[in-house]
């Protein structure tokens, strides 16, 4: 996996992380799977648009775009497993 799990990166991109969508009471669960990507690399998105759907313990959760811009890089593909600290993608702000 490339990149960093920090909210922003040195080149101005914004990391798509799981901090804002991790379920309450999910402190004992540290991993999940990317179920479906709705936005592909190169897609223009608005802040809050659903980028992908993840599954954590049989619960489906939509992951929103943190900022308006262009999906610059999808780090984890469909069916890839992740931990709560991982970056799923990067968005280059508009």
pLDDT in 10s for each residue of the chain, 94 residues:
333 334 556 689 999 999 888 877 656 788 999 999 999 999 999 999 999 999 998 899 999 999 999 999 999 999 999 998 999 999 999 9
Cβ-based neighbours of 4, under 8 Å, separated by 6 or more = 15, 87
Determine contact, residues 51/64, Cβ cutoff 8 Å.
yes
Topology (CATH) of 14-93: OB fold (Dihydrolipoamide Acetyltransferase, E2P) (2.40.50)
Domain residues of the chain, as ranges?
14-93
- pTM assigned to the model: 0.84
CA distance 78 to 65: 17
Number of residues that make up the chain: 94
């Amino acid at each position: 996996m490339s990149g960093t799990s920090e909210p922003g990166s040195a080149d101005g991109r914004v990391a798509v992380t799981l901090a804002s969508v991790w379920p309450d009471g999910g402190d004992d669960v540290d991993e999940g799977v990317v179920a479906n990507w709705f936005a592909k690399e190169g897609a223009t998105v608005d802040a809050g648009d659903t980028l992908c759907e993840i599954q954590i313990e049989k619960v489906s959760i939509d992951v929103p775009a943190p900022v308006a811009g262009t999906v610059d890089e999808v780090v984890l593909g469909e069916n890839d497993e992740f931990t709560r600290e991982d970056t799923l993608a990067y968005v280059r702000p508009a």
